[in-house]
Amino acid sequence: MDQIKIGEFIARKRKEQELTQMQFAEVVGVSNKTVSKWETGLRMPDVAILQDVCDVLKITINELLAGEDFSEYSEKEYMKKAEDNVIVLMQEVNEIKETKKGGILGVLCSIPIMICALALTLVHVVGATNIVYFFNVPTIFYMVGLFLFILGVTGAFPKYIAGYKCLFNIRKYNQNEMCKIVCTLEYVRKLTWTIGFAIFMINVMAISINYTHFEVIGPFLAGAVVSPFYTIIVEFIHSYILYKCRLTMTDTGHSNEGK
């Protein structure tokens, strides 16, 4: 569903009714800021007031969801447009379900990783082998666990995994899906830096609090040193995936234009 197209359609129909955003907002019972978000494609009208919006604009719900006037269409064309709207809505419902399932999966994956990170931290404090200190495994687990947890909570986990599927040509995606995957990967890049900085600052704060206890600050010092290094590596991986997905999206767009 093209929210920008729908927003432009709402704005055009509102102006045809000679209503300002404030007047339109008062009639349907929302704020003028909400109307502005509708017309810029940032939001869709709530289902509860969808019919009221259509009544004020003198359009049908089908026309609103399609973002165009059906008055010039024949009955057969009208039915086809209505069927297309139903298909799009079903696809979006399925996508929401997939996002929720993926979010739960991301959270579930993060929990055992975070538990392992806590266990390895205790190993560090009590005593650990040189290899564990060298790689600072708890920092890796904390970063990965926190990363997956946030992706799960925000619902970005399925699109993140889709980026890998696209990278290895496991599955083909259309232009709209590729656009969403690219947006998710751009978000993931920012999230990578945020988590890396957060882990670094937590270790620095722990060092500042326990600076007199040399037997304790070792693991935190190691975490402060390696967290930027791991962040750069993960950022490089995500940047490469984003680059490949953008190329795929461009190729997909060209293919659609050729058709």
Determine the pLDDT at residue 253. Answer: 57
How many whole angstroms separate alpha carbon 190 and alpha carbon 192? Answer: 5
Is residue 109 packed enough to be buried (19+ CB in 10 Å), middle (13-18) or exposed (0-12)?
middle
- CA torsion sign for 137, 140, 143, 145 is negative
- Of 15-29, 121-135, 139-153, 222-236, give the range with the top mean pLDDT: 15-29
Determine the pLDDT at residue 134. Answer: 47
The pLDDT tens digits of the residues spanning 193-204 come to 998 898 888 888
Exposure string over 73-98, b if 16+ CB within 10 A, otherwise e: eeeeebeebbeebeeeeeeeeeeeee
Q: List C-alpha distances in Å: 228 to 32, 121, 222.
A: 45, 18, 11
How many whole angstroms separate alpha carbon 245 and alpha carbon 240? Answer: 9
Average pLDDT, rounded, for the chain:
77
Determine the pLDDT at residue 115. Answer: 65
Q: Are 124 and 133 in contact (CB under 8 A)?
A: yes
Planar angle of CA 84, 87, 93, nearest 5 degrees: 140
Determine the pLDDT at residue 130. Answer: 45
Q: Are 46 and 78 in contact (CB under 8 A)?
A: no
The pLDDT tens digits of the residues spanning 94-141 come to 665 666 666 666 666 666 766 666 666 555 554 544 444 445 667 777
The candidate with the shortest Cα–Cα distance to 29, out of 12, 10, 51, is 51
pLDDT category of residue 206 using cuts at 50, 70 and 90? confident
Residue type, position 76, single letter? K
Encoded tokens for 157: 């986990």
Encoded tokens for 223: 């975490």
DSSP assignment, residue 20?
A: -
Q: Are 63 and 10 in contact (CB under 8 A)?
A: no
pLDDT category of residue 213 using cuts at 50, 70 and 90? confident
Determine the pLDDT at residue 150. Answer: 84
- Of 14-23, 115-124, 200-209, give the range with the top mean pLDDT: 14-23
The candidate with the shortest Cα–Cα distance to 6, out of 27, 29, 35, 33, is 35
pLDDT category of residue 3 using cuts at 50, 70 and 90? confident
Q: Are 21 and 34 in contact (CB under 8 A)?
A: no
How many whole angstroms separate alpha carbon 9 and alpha carbon 64? Answer: 7
R_g over Cα of the chain: 25
Neighbours of 30 (CB within 10 A): 18
Determine the pLDDT at residue 132. Answer: 47
pLDDT category of residue 82 using cuts at 50, 70 and 90? low
